[in-house]
């Protein structure tokens, strides 16, 4: 079949496993291009399901739900990596699925993920896999102090423990239930960055600019993207590594690769996310093609045009804590009117009905002609909302 006939044109229906905020923004992008959408998520109030043409309210492994999704859709994607890889494989028997279940399975397992990075020749932190008491006893003292992370189902700082000694390591492994883990040596970090790449079925690959990130309590807080946010050598290294990771997987879809930048200026790969990512949200307002449109283009076989950034940008993550300011007796709606009075402020709320501390409720993109102007406005917004300055 020719590549042209493989293209799924607007008018078709596209499906997504997962009804969270990333699914919601994918649905917005797909609908803007003229596609119908279907969301599979058991939550009747899921942010993506509430705005989609079709909401299939079943679990991810429900045979009836998967059959209905396959029947309605011309192609399917996923909005987060903890969707069962087997569900993607089931769907792939009857329609295009991107990313593939095998790619998601690797991203779900830190040990497999680290092994893939090593195969691709990209630098990783010194580490050890711990699945048995024997492997625990064999851990080199050179890896301490370190961070013990569960191999599966860890995100936003969950399933992790910092350990200084062999005794602390053993106690932490016990506390985590002796599940398979990866111990990573703690390195002298300067900051963090990430790259979002999009790769098509034909092997074409494009990328967004490299993003400089600030995390607080294991959750992304601020992303800054503009010319000069990182030294050119670091940018080149991050782009080369991310492309190698995608090509090594024969990946189709949007992929985020996160890096630690060490104090000596070198980079090591931290982890990958087989989907759009918080750090790419700025692209909705600062680029001519967003990460979510790239997701649509990948799964439909539409051309992957290189995104162009037209404005300096800063993204602020909006957590549920903002609805509970210090000293307030009750939940309070943040002063969005004051925020939206600022030049270049673009508010994205996810339609979640209940705010909770630590819950991702939305993000704020600030765009401006210069990095200095974007930063000044972002700091004003942060002050209004009660977000710590950066």
Per the annotation, does 229 bind a ligand? no
Burial level of 134, CB count in 10 A (0-12/13-18/19+)? exposed
Tally of helices (H runs) and strands (E runs) in the chain: 13, 17
Domains and CATH numbers, the chain: 3-97 (3.40.50.20), 126-185 (3.30.1490.20), 189-385 (3.30.470.20)
Q: Is 207 among the annotated ligand-binding positions?
A: no
Is 159 known to sit in a ligand binding site?
A: yes
Cis amide prior to 120 (ω within 30 degrees): no
On whether 270 is known to bind a ligand per the annotation, the reply is: yes
What pLDDT is stored for residue 71 in this prediction? 98
Q: Is 154 annotated as a binding residue?
A: yes
Tens of pLDDT along 282-304?
Answer: 999 999 999 999 999 999 999 99
185 is in an annotated binding site: yes
Return the bridge partners of 39, or none.
Answer: 16, 55
Q: Determine what percent of the chain is predicted with pLDDT higher than 70.
A: 98
What's phi and psi for 378, nearest 5 deg?
-60, -40
**What are φ and ψ of residue 79, in 5° steps?**
-105, -10
Instruction: Please indicate if the annotation marks 338 as binding a ligand.
Output: no
Whether 187 has a binding-site annotation, put simply, is: yes
227 marked as part of a ligand binding site: no
136 belongs to an annotated ligand binding site: no
pLDDT at residue 329 in the model = 80
Is the Cα dihedral 200, 306, 22, 254 positive or negative?
Answer: positive
The DSSP letter of residue 154 is: -
Is 65 part of any known ligand binding site?
no
Write the DSSP assignment of 74-106 as a string of letters: SEEEESSTTS-HHHHHHHHTTS-BSS-HHHHHH
Q: Tell whether omega for the bond before 145 is within 30 degrees of 0, i.e. cis.
A: yes
Cβ contact 309:225 at 8 Å: yes
Q: Say whether 178 counts as a known binding-site residue.
A: no
Strands 13-17 and 36-40: parallel
Asked if 189 and 261 count as a contact pair (C-beta separation under 8 A), the reply is yes
Half-sphere exposure of 118 (CA within 13 A, CB side): 10
pLDDT < 70 positions in the chain: 1-5, 154-157
C-beta of residue 159 within 8 angstroms of C-beta of residue 109? no
184 is in an annotated binding site: yes
Q: What local confidence, expressed as pLDDT, does residue 5 receive?
A: 57
DSSP H stretches of helix in 120-255: 133-137, 166-175, 232-248
Q: What is the pLDDT of residue 4?
A: 43
What's the CA gap between 150 and 160, in Å, rounded? 7
Say if residue 360 carries a ligand binding annotation: no
Task: Give 146-169 pLDDT, tens digit per residue.
Answer: 999 999 976 666 789 999 999 999
- Residue 13 is predicted with a pLDDT of 98
CA distances to 167, 183, 263 from 164, in Å: 8, 11, 20
Residue 3 is predicted with a pLDDT of 44
User: Of 314, 278, 274, whose CA–CA distance to 295 is shortest?
Assistant: 274
The pLDDT, as a whole number, for residue 2 is 40
Q: Which of 199, 194, 271, 270 has the alpha carbon at shortest distance from 235?
A: 194
| Bridge partner list, 206 | 198
Query: What pLDDT, on a 0 to 100 scale, did the predictor assign at position 81?
Result: 87
Structure-block tokens of residue 281: 């949200």
Q: Is 160 annotated as a binding residue?
A: yes
């Amino acid at each position: 079949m020719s590549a042209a006939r493989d293209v799924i044109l607007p008018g078709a229906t596209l499906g997504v496993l997962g009804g969270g905020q990333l699914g919601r923004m994918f649905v917005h992008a797909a609908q803007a291009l003229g596609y119908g959408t279907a969301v599979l998520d058991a939550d009747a109030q899921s942010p993506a399901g509430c705005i989609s043409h079709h909401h299939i309210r079943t679990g991810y492994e429900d045979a009836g739900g998967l059959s209905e999704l396959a029947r309605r859709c011309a192609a399917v994607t996923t909005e987060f990596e903890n969707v069962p890889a087997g569900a993607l494989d089931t769907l792939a028997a009857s329609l295009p699925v991107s990313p593939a279940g095998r790619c998601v399975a690797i991203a779900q397992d830190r040990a497999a993920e680290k092994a893939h990075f090593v195969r691709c020749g990209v630098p990783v932190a010194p580490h050890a896999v711990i699945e048995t008491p024997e492997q625990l006893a064999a851990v080199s003292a050179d890896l301490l102090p370190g961070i013990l992370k569960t191999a599966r189902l860890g995100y936003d700082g969950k399933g992790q423990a910092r350990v200084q000694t062999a005794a602390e390591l053993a106690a932490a492994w016990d506390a985590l239930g002796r599940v398979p883990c990866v111990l990573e040596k703690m390195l002298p970090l300067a900051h963090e960055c990430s790259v979002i790449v999009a790769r098509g079925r034909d092997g074409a690959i494009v990328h967004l600019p490299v993003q400089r990130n600030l995390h607080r309590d294991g959750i992304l807080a601020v992303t800054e993207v503009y010319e000069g946010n990182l030294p050119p050598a670091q940018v080149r290294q991050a782009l080369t590594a991310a492309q190698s990771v995608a090509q090594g997987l024969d990946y189709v879809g949007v992929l985020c690769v996160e890096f630690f930048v060490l104090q000596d200026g070198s980079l090591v790969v931290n982890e990958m996310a087989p989907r759009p990512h918080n750090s790419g949200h700025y692209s909705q307002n600062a680029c001519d093609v967003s990460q979510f449109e790239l997701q649509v283009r990948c799964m439909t076989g539409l051309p992957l045009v290189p995104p162009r950034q037209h404005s300096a940008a800063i993204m602020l993550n909006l957590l549920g804590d903002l609805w509970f300011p210090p000293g307030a007796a009750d939940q309070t709606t943040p002063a969005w009117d004051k925020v939206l009075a600022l030049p270049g402020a673009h508010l994205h709320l996810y339609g979640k009905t209940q705010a909770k501390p630590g819950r991702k409720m939305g993000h704020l993109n600030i765009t401006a002609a210069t990095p200095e102007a974007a930063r000044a406005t972002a700091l004003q917004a942060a002050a209004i909302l009660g977000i710590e300055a950066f």
